[in-house]
Amino acid sequence: MTDTLFLTSDEIEGLATPTEYVDAVRDGYRQVGEGAPAYPRQKFFRSDPDGMFTSYAALLPETGAVGGYMYTAGFGAGNAWFMTPLFDAESGEPLAVLDGASMNPFKTGAAGAVAVDELARDDAATLAVIGSGSQARGQVNTTATVRDFEDVRVFSPTPENRETFASEFDEQLEANVHAVDSSVAALEGADVVITATKSSEPVFDGDDLEPGMHVTAMGQYQEGSREIDTTTVERATYVPDLRARATFDAGAFLAALEDGVVTEDHIHGDLGEVVAGTAPGRTSDDEITVFDSGGTGIETTAAAYMLYERAQERGLGSTISFAPASEALTGRLPQ
In a domain, 109, yes or no: no
**What is the model's pLDDT at position 261?**
96
In a domain, 111, yes or no: no
* Residues 40 and 147 both lie in one domain: no
* Residues 242 and 157 both lie in one domain: yes
SS3 content of the chain, % helix, strand, coil (to 5): 35, 25, 40
Measured distance CA(156)–CA(317) in Å, rounded: 37
Q: Which of 270, 200, 188, 264 is nearest to 229 (CA)?
A: 200
**What is the model's pLDDT at position 333?**
55
All residues at 6 or more sequence positions from 233 whose CB lies less than 8 Å from its CB, including other chains: 206, 252, 253, 255, 256, 261, 262, 266, 290
Measured distance CA(110)–CA(304) in Å, rounded: 12
Mean pLDDT computed over 284-300? 96
Measured distance CA(132)–CA(203) in Å, rounded: 13
In a domain, 191, yes or no: yes
β-pair partners for 67: 58, 86
∠ CA 197-295-23, rounded to 5°: 105
Return the DSSP state at 77.
Answer: T
* Residues 164 and 222 both lie in one domain: yes
* Residues 203 and 318 both lie in one domain: no
Range of lowest pLDDT (40-44, 118-122, 184-188, 256-260): 40-44
β-pair partners for 174: none
Strand-pair category, 42-46 with 51-60 = antiparallel
* Residues 44 and 162 both lie in one domain: no
Q: What is the largest CA-CA distance in the chain?
A: 74
* Residues 261 and 322 both lie in one domain: no
Percent of the residues in the chain that have a pLDDT greater than 70, as a whole number: 98
pLDDT in tens, 179-234: 999 999 999 999 999 999 988 899 999 999 999 999 999 877 777 789 999 999 99
Looking up residue 138, the CATH number of its domain turns out to be 3.40.50.720
Instruction: Kindly indicate the confidence band of residue 335, based on its pLDDT and cuts at 50, 70 and 90.
Output: low
* Residues 156 and 212 both lie in one domain: yes
Looking up residue 32, the CATH number of its domain turns out to be 3.30.1780.10
* Residues 246 and 318 both lie in one domain: no
Collapsing DSSP to helix, strand or coil, 29 comes out as helix
Measured distance CA(25)–CA(31) in Å, rounded: 10
* Residues 72 and 157 both lie in one domain: no
Q: Could you list the residue range(s) of the whole structural domain that residue 73 is in?
A: 2-104+297-328
pLDDT in tens, 23-41: 999 999 999 999 999 999 8
The model's pTM is 0.94
Mean pLDDT computed over 153-177? 97
Measured distance CA(85)–CA(135) in Å, rounded: 22
* Residues 99 and 33 both lie in one domain: yes
Instruction: Kindly indicate the confidence band of residue 334, based on its pLDDT and cuts at 50, 70 and 90.
Output: low
pLDDT in tens, 81-118: 999 999 999 999 999 999 999 999 999 999 999 999 99
- Which backbone phi and psi does 313 adopt, to 5 degrees? -60, -35
Mean pLDDT computed over 264-288? 97
All residues at 6 or more sequence positions from 8 whose CB lies less than 8 Å from its CB, including other chains: 99, 317
All residues at 6 or more sequence positions from 156 whose CB lies less than 8 Å from its CB, including other chains: 130, 131, 132, 133, 136, 162, 165, 197
Question: What domain count does the chain have?
Answer: 2
